[in-house]
Structure formats: structure tokens, C-alpha cells
Structure 1
Amino acid sequence: MKMTKEKLMEAAVAALNRDEAATIEQIANIAGVTRRTVHRYFNDRNTLVHECKQTMLQVCNLKMTQAYQSSQQPAVQLENMFYAALEVGIQYCFVKKLVKRQQYTDLISNQEQAYDDVKANWFQLVELLQQQGAITSQLSIPWIYNLFGGIIDIAIEAHQAGDVARNDIKKFSWRSFKASIDLH
């Protein structure tokens, strides 16, 4: 079986999700290859981690855009965007840990326009839902945006801890967000 760069990145994501300080040796073990094989594709650990972060941003932007375009109903769009953010957040949870120590703008340098488009769509969607009276207008849009991310973070932590059944995380986190913004 030929080892590909993508498979090594998948192994890196798995290793880094377990331990954000995972070494090239640990990543190689998960991939079932030698350290030398990893170095054929990546000069060093920092390059590998950077490429994993860039891939996560691309995946996130794609999934959030697809979720936004999945319906013409704003409430359904918002719910689908929530699920997309949750899915990507769980898949790449190590990035969230790294982001807390870095400026997010450092991470999105190559993905800035796509990220801005997704964020603009999200803000417009929430504003439209407020105008329609479907969600409370007593909360500011930036507050709702931070609430959205905070509930995603809580769901990711619950997933990692194993405190909540995996099938319930999606349901509980959406219900919590929906109730917190009075979405009906």
C-alpha cells in the first residue's frame, strides 16, 4: 500500500486530537510507517501541523458553505451550519486548542476570503431570522455568534471526554443553542 500525504495528515489529525504535542514518531506509528516516511512528505512537525490546519480551514469553509446552500429556509440553513461546524470541530479538535494560543488571523491567511464569505453569510442569516421574529432580537448578532462557537466548544469537549453519548451530543448541543436564541 502506497502511503499518501493525505493519509499521513489523517494520522497526524488523529494523533494531535489525542495529544496536541504528538511527535513525528507518534504520528508515524499511527500511520504505520517510519519517521523517515513522514519526513519524505513534510520537512518537520511544524509544516505537518500547518498543513493540517490549512486543510481544516478548507474543509470547514466548504462544509459551512454547503450547509448554507442546503436550503432556502433560514432556520434550516442555520441548523445545518451548526451541524457542519460541530462535525468539523470534532474532526479537527486539536486546531481549536492551538487557536486559543494564536491569533485566528494567522491561521486563515490563505483562507481569509472564503472564511469572510462564510462568516458574512452566517451574520446575514441571523440578522434575517431576527428581522422575521424567528429568533430573539434582544441578543446582538456578535453575542449569538460567540454563543454559537461556545456551544460548539462545549459539544467538542463532551465528545472528547465521553461524558455524553455520541448520538446525543448533536441533539443536545443544537437544542441548547436553539433555546438560547429563542429560535422557533
Structure 2
Amino acid sequence: MSGPRERTRAAILEASAVVLGRNHDATLPAVAEAAGVGRTTLHRYFPDRESLLSATTADSLAAVEQAVTDAAIEDGSPVDAMRRLVAAMVSVGDRLIYLFGDPRVLGVDDDDCPDEDAQPEPSADQRVIQMIKRGQAEGAFDDQLTPDWIQQTLWALVYTGCEAVRNGELTRHAVVPMVTRTLEGGIRPA
């Protein structure tokens, strides 16, 4: 796609994640309005609701993967890596709310999922687990907690912080230190 077409498509997908993250049953006209395009334009890019949902899900997953990559969690101390990861996840908070706020979005049977072993690069989840294990090995994170538990706690705190921003309870600027403080207080060795 050309530059303007790609920007329009990106605007529609971003607006879709925001609008559908708030209400998965929102109308396509509501998405078009939020994207600043007409309904006809939206339908040129996404002819029906299913194609928009599919593209929004794929785009949101890619945004989360990119945020993890940008956080460079393989570099530096595990504590600093975790802090960068929290900031990166908050930056894609609307995408997280869309992906995880409604079980219908990612409601895929395990049989339909690609084989993780066939992936040439580790997924975002696998890289986060590796970073947590590194933190445990270096004594930065509590080794009495499982890496999966720490990861799920991380995602839950970030999601809760992003919801607080969406609901006007916190500013986006306040979320990162609040999540980081809560997480670090809970995963540091006793």
C-alpha cells in the first residue's frame, strides 16, 4: 500500500482497537468516526466486521510484539528490563485492552494455534519468560515464584493500569511508576 493508504489503514486499526476495546459490540460507523474516516472509506479497507476484527487482532498482536522488541528486555539488568517492558506495554495499552478485555477476541482453540516450536524467533511471551528466569538466576526476582506467575502478574498489573487510564482514574504518565512499584514490591526476593 502507498503511504497515505497505509496511514489510513493504520488509523482505522488503531481506532478499532480503542473503540472495540471499550465495547466489543460497537458499530462500524463508531469505528469510522473515531478513525476520522467515512463509513465508505472504512468499507473499502475492511468490507465487513469480521475482516476488521481479524485485522485489528493481528495488528494489535503485532503492536504488542513490537513493544516487547523495542523494550530490549534482553539487555541490561533484569530490573531495568522489566521497567522498560512495563513502559512499552503501557504504550500499547489500548491494544492490550482490546486483545484481553473480551474473551471472544483471542478465543482460539489450542488446535488452531501455530506450533510455537516452529517459530524461528521466540514469541514475546517466551522472551518475557526468559527475562524473568534471568532475573531469578541473578537474584533480582523471587525464585520462589514461578516465571509464569510473575508474567501473569505483570500482564494483570499492566492491564489494570491501562484500564485505570481508560476510565480516567489515572494519567498514562502515572501508570508506569505505579505498576512498576507494585510489581517490584511483589517479585523481589524476601
Match status 1:133 vs 2:139: yes
- Give 1:155 deviation, angstroms: 0.7
How has the CA–CA distance of structure 1 residues 149 and 104 changed in structure 2, closer, same or farther, with 3 Å as cutoff? Answer: farther
Q: Distance in 1 between matches of 2:173 and 2:183?
A: 17
TM-score (norm 2): 0.80
SS of aligned partner of 1:86 = helix
The 10-residue stretch of structure 1 (173-182 or 120-129) with the greater mean CA deviation from structure 2: 120-129
- Give 1:7 deviation, angstroms: 2.4
How has the CA–CA distance of structure 1 residues 64 and 21 changed in structure 2, closer, same or farther, with 3 Å as cutoff? Answer: same
- Give 1:17 deviation, angstroms: 3.3
- Structure 1 portions without partners, runs of 5+: none
Q: Residue 11 of structure 2: which of 7, 17, 21 is its match?
A: 7
How has the CA–CA distance of structure 1 residues 166 and 67 changed in structure 2, closer, same or farther, with 3 Å as cutoff? Answer: closer
Match status 1:95 vs 2:90: no
How many pairs are equivalent? Answer: 182
Q: Residue 124 of structure 1: which of 126, 130, 145 is its match?
A: 130
Match status 1:155 vs 2:155: no
Q: Distance in 2 between matches of 1:120 and 1:156?
A: 22
**Aligned residues: percent identity?**
24
Q: Residue 174 of structure 2: which of 146, 165, 168 is its match?
A: 168
- Structure 2 portions without partners, runs of 5+: none
TM-score (norm 1): 0.82
1:21-170 to 2 correspondence within 5 Å? 21-68=25-72, 71-99=75-103, 102-103=106-107, 109=113, 113=119, 116-170=122-176
Match status 1:178 vs 2:184: yes
Q: One-letter code of the match for 2:23?
A: D
